[in-house]
Amino acid sequence: MFRSAHKLRSRHSLVSILFIWLFMNAIGAHGAIAPAAKKTSTSTADHTKFEALQQEFATAPDVTKACLTCHTEASKQIHKTTHWNWKITHPETGQVLGKKRVVNSFCGSITTNYARCTSCHIGYGWKDDSFDFTSEENVDCLVCHDTTDTYKKFPTAAGHPTYVDKPFPKKSKKIWKAPDLTKVAQAVGKPRRENCGVCHFYGGGGDGVKHGDLDSSMTNPPRTLDVHMGVDGLNFVCTECHSTDGHDLKGSHYTSVGKDTHGIDIPGRDDHNRASCESCHGDKPHEETVNNKINDHTNKVACHIPTYAKGGVPSKTWWDWSTAGRMDGDGKHLKMKDENGYVTYVTKKGTFEWGENLVPEYAWLSGEIRYQELEDRLDPNSVVPINTFKGDYDDPGARIWPFKIMRGKQPYDKGNNTLVISHLFGKDSEAYWKSFNWDRAIKAAMDAAGADYSGDYGFIETTMHWPLSHMVAPKEEALGCDECHSRNGRLAELTGFYMPGRDKSDLLDIIGWLAVLGTLGGVSLHGFVRVFFSRKRRNG
Amino acid sequence: MPNEMIYTRFERIWHWVLAILILPLLLTGFEIHGDYTMLGFEQAVDTHIIFAWALMGLLVFVIFWHMTTGEWKQYIPSSKNNLMAMLRYYAVDIFLGGGHPFHMTRKSKLNPLQRLAYLSLHVVITPVTWASGLLYLFYTSWGDWGLEGLSLTVVAMVHMAAAFAMLAFLIVHLYLAITTSEKPFGYVKAMISGYEKKE
């Protein structure tokens, strides 16, 4: 008994030593505290004690006014960000991008659909073109800084929460509660995963629809779902990597960096951007062995996102608008689901396909992204790429990146061979979701955007690339070499370079094997003839 | 008449170590090429690299041995007449039970055909394999070495061509070594014991 207890103790101390060693490593490797259960606030301010917040607030902008009494520069900072402007000029291409400008393959565009889309804008009241982007009180502080999870922007209120309890969808029994703005204002804190998630997990009209690597399963993900954000692991919040400088967050996919060559993020670095693998892991993160090929690969491929949409929430992979508008015999809207309970058809939006545990598709990515703009011509006989990333094997700034590729069919102008946008949401009869008349809906949106519409529309298949960078798996689940180094591996589609295991010269292989088999045949024949003659000699 | 020592100890050792290294290199090489799966790509590459370094280490000693002992002279091609006699032997006399035109001695181990075959192995196939293999292994350093213009496709093709040549060579080598001595495996035994058995 005694001996085994002693043994147990020594094993115990061994485990502790191991644990301490792991802990020290974690500190050394990441400069951060090792797995923490719940992050407690270390703020020097208790917001319940501020007089400005001890009042009844009639509207959310009133809360902002109170915030600005202390945080005098906050709105001015927000005014400079993409989160506020939904507009960003790409530094290399000069293309003006952002939600305000681009056409996407989900609901198309925010133009004429503002009040619905801008329920995810960090402001209040962007319901039409006349929104004042210089308004300080219309900055929504709470959506990012609420810690009570009771503050929600109402889906059709142009960014406002509801101020009285009311049902949503209209006439349904689901009641959307008005938040207690005083309580919310007094409980503000640093953004948590929940805050970013209310918009970024639900982009495209629902949970997991748009990104594939961002959905509600990432609110409290296990380590196996996301090794960085896992609550049983490093427990990162979004801003751990999407670092901020005066409220300006890093890591927008509009300005994504294919390869971060600045090295590990330490004071004195020039880009203040932790939204890249290299900013923490450097460019040689693997232990060196006799076969150091693995570190040779970090500048080329991304092996650590083997699958996405893997947290139990499906992501939309196909959206066909051309089938929208069908009703049943009584003129009622249709809604269909498949055996998994995924919605496959709704009258307002058309046909969908979904997927879970999806294998990424791969393409070269450099920082240069381009979008198909409303005035750009398209080829009506091929699939139209909504966005493309410049980059190839010879581009030193490019890397093979995992993507979710969203596919579908959306309306286009058959006369002009351009993409079109549609007026979907609104109470007016031009809105597609009221009249189900594409022609009028397209004309209304194109007129509002000042774009030319020939009056002849059709539907065209499009692709849209979504770079994946979340749902990074623990290292044990990283892709093995043969996932790509095989005849029909993950990179089978990428051309312009030789990859062992995938590529070969058919001619050389034929000549080579003919030579080898010919030699084998030759010596066999030689041997056979020798045996034949020696038998003959012996018998004769 | 006492048996004559044909193959010295070092020669025998390097021959068999070479054999042990070349076979896995061929096997893993063709796996890396994508022709079949046994170890998996990563393990195959690891093994290929380890065995390649071991082989190159061995060959450094072997070259040194050839140079210092003068054994390299064994590969100097012999006269055309001798070569023709050898070809005639393999093409005609061997079937008719005729005797081997050359006698193996310590000073002249290789028949005229072998001289030519091993010379091409040592001055063509092996150096091409080394050079293309090392370039292949260090392709990420080409930029630093001023070799940006080099194509991995070409390097890989050359390495593959050398591998096919090596495999073909090995087949002929095994056939001749195992079957053409007076009794089967006679030469194999000689390469183990060092002595060629005299009748």
**The pairing of beta strand A399-413 with beta strand A315-320:** parallel
Q: Considering its fold, how many domains does chain A have in total? A: 2
For residue B68, what pLDDT is reported? Answer: 94
B70 to chain A nearest CA, in Å?
32
For residue B81, what pLDDT is reported? Answer: 81
A58 shares a domain with A2:
no
Q: Considering its fold, how many domains does chain B have in total? A: 1
DSSP A42: -
**Residue A491, in any domain of the structure:** no
Task: Give the DSSP H/E element, type plus range, for residue A385.
Answer: strand A384-385
Collect all residues of chain A within an 8 Å Cβ-Cβ radius of residue B156: 498, 500, 503
A164 shares a domain with A27:
no
**Residue A6, in any domain of the structure:** yes
User: Is A291 in CB contact (< 8 Å) with chain B?
Assistant: yes
DSSP B97: T
Cβ-defined contact of A516 to B167 (cutoff 8 Å): yes
Residue A212 contacts by C-beta under 8 Å, 6 or more apart in sequence?
A308, A309, A315, A358, A404, A466, A468
Domain carrying residue A10: 1-34
Which residues does chain A have with pLDDT short of 70? 1-40, 269-270
**Residue A410, in any domain of the structure:** yes
A166 shares a domain with A22:
no
A181 shares a domain with A95:
yes
Count of CB atoms situated within 10 Å of the CB of A417? 16
Q: If you count them, how many residues does chain A have?
A: 540
Collect all residues of chain A within an 8 Å Cβ-Cβ radius of residue B40: 480-482
Domain carrying residue B188: 4-196
DSSP string, A87-136: -EE-TTT--EESTTT---SSS--STT-HHHHGGGSSBS---STT--TT-S
- What does the alpha-carbon distance between residue A109 and residue A107 come to, in Å, rounded to a whole number? 6
Cβ-defined contact of A296 to B33 (cutoff 8 Å): no
**Residue A436, in any domain of the structure:** yes
A85 shares a domain with A11:
no
A106 shares a domain with A22:
no
Q: Tokens 């018998």 identify what position?
A: A539
Cβ-defined contact of B49 to A481 (cutoff 8 Å): no
Of A293, A503, A504, the CB nearest to B45: A293
Residues 76-135 of chain B whose Cβ lies under 8 A from any Cβ of chain A: 90, 94-97
User: Is A501 in CB contact (< 8 Å) with chain B?
Assistant: yes
Per-residue pLDDT tens digits for B42-88: 999 999 999 999 999 999 999 999 999 988 888 888 888 888 888 88
Tell me the one-letter amino acid at B84.
Answer: M
B185: domain CATH number is 1.20.950.20
Q: If you count them, how many residues does chain B have?
A: 199
Contact A438, A432 (CB under 8 A): yes
For residue B197, what pLDDT is reported? Answer: 66
**The pairing of beta strand A384-385 with beta strand A457-467:** parallel
A23 shares a domain with A154:
no
**Residue A319, in any domain of the structure:** yes
Give, in order, the Cα–Cα distances in Å from A539 to each of A534, A535, B167, B182.
Answer: 9, 6, 37, 19
Peptide bond into A385 cis (omega under 30): no
A199-208 burial code (b ≥16 CB/10 A, e <16): bbbbbbbbbb
**The pairing of beta strand A399-413 with beta strand A418-419:** antiparallel
A80 shares a domain with A4:
no
**Residue A523, in any domain of the structure:** no
**Residue A363, in any domain of the structure:** yes
Q: Which of A111, A114, A110, A134 is nearest to A125 (CA)?
A: A114
Of A480, A498, A523, the CB nearest to B171: A523
User: Is B41 in CB contact (< 8 Å) with chain A?
Assistant: yes
B35 to chain A nearest CA, in Å?
8
A313 shares a domain with A188:
yes
A93 shares a domain with A7:
no
Query: Which tokens in the block code for residue A148?
Result: 């009570």
Cβ-defined contact of B171 to A481 (cutoff 8 Å): no
Count of CB atoms situated within 10 Å of the CB of A16? 10
Contact A113, A426 (CB under 8 A): yes
**Residue A282, in any domain of the structure:** no
A124 shares a domain with A24:
no
- Last residue in a domain, options A479, A502, A528: A479
Interface test with B, best of A519, A529, A534, A539 (most B CBs within 10 A): A519
Could you list the pLDDT tens digit for every one of the 199 residues in chain B? 457 788 889 999 999 999 999 999 999 999 999 999 999 999 999 999 999 999 999 999 999 999 999 888 888 888 888 888 888 888 888 888 877 888 777 778 888 888 888 899 989 999 999 999 999 999 989 989 999 889 999 999 999 999 999 999 999 999 999 998 878 888 889 899 888 765 4
For residue A270, what pLDDT is reported? Answer: 64
Collect all residues of chain A within an 8 Å Cβ-Cβ radius of residue B168: 515-516, 518-519
